[in-house]
Each structure stands twice: as C-alpha cells, then as structure tokens.
Structure 1
Amino acid sequence: MIQQLLAVFAPMLLGAQLLLTLILVKGDICPGQRGRIHKMLPSLAILWLAVASLRIEAMMIVFALAYFYSQVQTKKTRDQGPMWVIYLANGLALAYVGIEIGAQTSIAAGLSVLFQVFLLGALLAHLLLTIARTRLQAFHRILPVTGVVAAMMMSLAILLKAYGLESDVLTSVTQPLLTSFALLITAIVAWAWHLLASKEINKGQLAIALVFLLLSATSNQALFVL
C-alpha cells in the first residue's frame, strides 16, 4: 500500500514543481507572495525524499530543491534566486517520471502516469498556492477545470486498461474500480466546491480533495500492474 502511494508521488510532484516554477518566473506576484511560495519548496523536497525510498535517483531532485531553497529568501523578496537550479530539479523530475512512464507494462498504464502529472500535480500546486496566500485568483478557477479534464482522461485510461482484461480478472477488480471512481468523483467535487457554492477557496477543502485523489490513484495502481 505504501509503495503504491509513493509511486503516484513522482508525477504529482513534477506537476506541482512545473506550475510553481511558471508562477515564480512569469507570475505577477509581489515580493511577499514570492517569499511565501519559496517557503513551500521544502515540502516538495520532503516528499521527493519519500520517493527516494523507491528509487535512490530521486535524491538528486531533493538536493537540487534544497540548494535552491538555501539560496533564496522566504520573506519579502524580488530576487528569483538561481533559477537554473530549479530548472535542473524540474529536468531531473521530468526524466524520473519519463522513465516511470516508459517502464509501465501497457499504454494505458503509461497514460495514467502522464495524466497524474496534470491531475495530482495541479491539485497539490493549488493547495500549496492557497497555503502561501497568493492572490492569483485566476488559478482558483483554472486549476479545478484542469482537474476535471484530467480526471476524464484518467477515467478513459482506466477503461482502456479494463477493456483488455479477461472477464474473470475484470470481475475480481470491479469493486476496487467502482471504489476508485467514487473516490475520484468525491475528490473533484471537493476541489471545485468553492466554484459550485460560490464561496472563498479553503485550504481544508483542497487537503481533503488531495487525500481522496491520492486514495483513488493508489487504488488504481493495483489495476495497472495486471
């Protein structure tokens, strides 16, 4: 169970890193917001450290993020820091996930890892941006919509994999599949709840959505190894 959970961390972290990098480079953020985003980087490094228990190569990403964090301010700052280091971390993460995609046993399994970059990555980034109290209001609408589209693509990948299974195997995984879909739908509803109810975004809502989404993705891992 733990290994299955850690397996979905890498695409999630890659997606979150790419989005945070985009905001640091292109985002219209004030010095205070930049410093608060910098404070989110250790959480990514800690999660990559957990991934390193599966593949030691992930330690290179940990070192890159840690070095970048050591070179930037976490208070008000206009300094972007040594962005080449964060680019290096992103490149290493991309290579790691690319290897994971190539190692999958089927096209559907590879697609599922790819879609996790957008689905889990967008949600983790949304949570971190909310904790950092950024004022990028457009992302509160864009990221949930991205999640809905990615969830649809993930569902298609699951159905593609299920279509190729023998009838007796499919019968044995039907219940886990239904549970996974229920968790996925719950996560998406929780993620987009502020849009549905016309309320302010809440980090608690995003944390709950992330938990449900991780449970759904972990449940799917058992299907894709068949």
Structure 2
Amino acid sequence: MAWFDWPFILSSVFAQLSIGAFLILGSVIFSGKLCFGQTDRLHKTMPVLWMLLFASLALREINLVLSQTHSVYSFSIEAMIVTIFFVLALLYWFAEKALIGSDATRKVMLSVVLMSGLVYFGHGLMQRSEQWLVAAHFIATTLCGGTLFAHTALVRAEHKVEEVNRYLPLLGAVIAVICLLTGIPQLADLASRAETYNEISPFVAHVLSLGLLLAAVGVWLMPIITKSKPVLHVMTFALALIFISSYCAGVGY
C-alpha cells in the first residue's frame, strides 16, 4: 500500500489492535483474577475497542463506496470476521453490563468471542503467509500491540493483579523480538528492490516500523526496569508508538 491508502491501513490497524487487545482482556477476565469492581471498571474502558472496530469497518466500506472501484486490499472474508467478532463482543459486553444470565452463561459468551478472535487471527495469518515480513507485522500489531493496548486498559481500570504488570510486558517483548529477528533479514529484499527499481518507500516504511516497535516495547518495559508501577500516560505513549509502527508497516506492504 501507499501513503494515500490510509483508510485501508487504518482500518486494518484498528481491527488488529482491538481484537488483539480483547483476546488478552478476555483471557484475564476468564482467569477470574479480577474482582467484580476491577472487572466492572475494565468493562467501562471497552467502548474504546468498540469505537475502533466501528471505525475500522466504516473506513473500509466508505472508502470503497466513494472510490467506486474494486480494491485488492478489500478482504471481504476478513471484514466479515471482524463484523461477527464485533457483534459477538457487543452482545457479551451488554450482557456483562446488565448482568443478563448466569455467570456460566456469560463465560460461554466470552469464550465464543475469544474463539472468533482466534479465527480472525488465524485467517489473517493465512492471508499474509506468502510474505513473512507482512505476517510478522500482522503478528506484531495483533499480539504485541494488542497486548500493550490491553495492558493500558487494565492500568486505566486500576487493576490490582501484579502478575499482569510483570508478564504482559514480557510477553509483548518476546513477540516483538521474534518479529524483529525474523523481519530484519527480509529487509535485504526490500533494499535490493529499492536499489533496482528506485522504490525506497517500502524499505523506509518497514525500517521505521521495526524501529518504532522496538521503541514502544522499550517504553513499555520501563516500569519493570525501574521497578515501578506502570502509569497511564507512559502506557499511552508506548501505544502511540506501536500504532505509528503498525501504520508504517501497512505503508510498506
């Protein structure tokens, strides 16, 4: 994609971050480590996810309608999976907010949402499997970026689970390092392409993406390094870095 394809890029980034974040948040909720008050505060942060998912679908569809052209970047199956996930997640969220049904019923609903999120991740990985660099960026945005987004939401909800502050950044760091180590060798192909065809934008975009991913993880790990509690503004800054990283990755496709 090019820089001017920003609606499609933002659409993908919004969906990947939101679904990745919910996979982590849903897993934390499912673990039962959050008390009722913490879970309630966490649910109050979730409208941000719903707004991003809505924006993702709206950007994709509005741009296609206005352009009135078929785009190779329009993954109809992926959009359908995102829509299904969005609907299921909203149903679960409303059930939790209104305390509809038993705890077991709501856990089943949560499990279904998590399964649909895993289907999205699996499908997205298959769609991008031909180019590992593209797949690595997808993993980085969905899993690493999603984990960071989820951790930010948990910090905003004032959670009290210390394991979350320790393990989520480490999980994100491991994912980022794997993506970085596997993505760097692929840059040689982009460098060769830039030299041969004078197409430097993809190379620059991917270098920026990997660099910002590393910077975001570094900021994210600072509370562990300094042995302090994570604070919202630092987490938000790291999230902004990984968002820009994901956008640059989309430009480089």
TM-score after normalising by structure 2: 0.77
Q: Distance in 2 between matches of 1:114 and 1:47?
A: 18
How many Å apart are 1:132 and its aligned residue? 0.8
2:169 corresponds in structure 1 to: 144
Q: Which runs of 5 or more residues in structure 1 are unaligned?
A: none
Q: Which runs of 4+ in 1 moved over 4 A?
A: 78-81
Is the CA contact (8 Å cut-off) linking 1:186 and 1:212 kept in structure 2?
yes
Is the CA contact (8 Å cut-off) linking 1:42 and 1:66 kept in structure 2?
no
Asked if 1:187 is matched to 2:216, the reply is yes
Asked if 1:24 is matched to 2:29, the reply is yes
Is the CA contact (8 Å cut-off) linking 2:41 and 2:157 kept in structure 1?
yes
Q: Distance in 2 between matches of 1:37 and 1:74?
A: 15
The one-character-per-residue Cα deviations of 1:157-178 (angstroms, maximum 9, x if unpaired) are 3224323346142671443344
The count of residues paired between Structure 1 and Structure 2 equals: 222
2:48 corresponds in structure 1 to: 43
Is the CA contact (8 Å cut-off) linking 1:122 and 1:143 kept in structure 2?
yes
2:241 corresponds in structure 1 to: 212
RMSD: 2.5
Letter in 1 for 2:18: L
2:132 corresponds in structure 1 to: 107
Paired residue for 2:182, among 143, 147, 157? 157
Deviates more, 1:25-34 or 1:55-64: 55-64
Paired residue for 2:112, among 69, 73, 88? 88
TM-score after normalising by structure 1: 0.85
2:147 corresponds in structure 1 to: 122
Percentage identity across paired residues of the two chains: 21
How many Å apart are 1:222 and its aligned residue? 2.6
The one-character-per-residue Cα deviations of 1:107-145 (angstroms, maximum 9, x if unpaired) are 332233134332111101100101111101111111111
The one-character-per-residue Cα deviations of 1:39-69 (angstroms, maximum 9, x if unpaired) are 2332222222122233254222222122112
Asked if 1:8 is matched to 2:8, the reply is no
By percentage of residues, which structure has more helix? Answer: 2
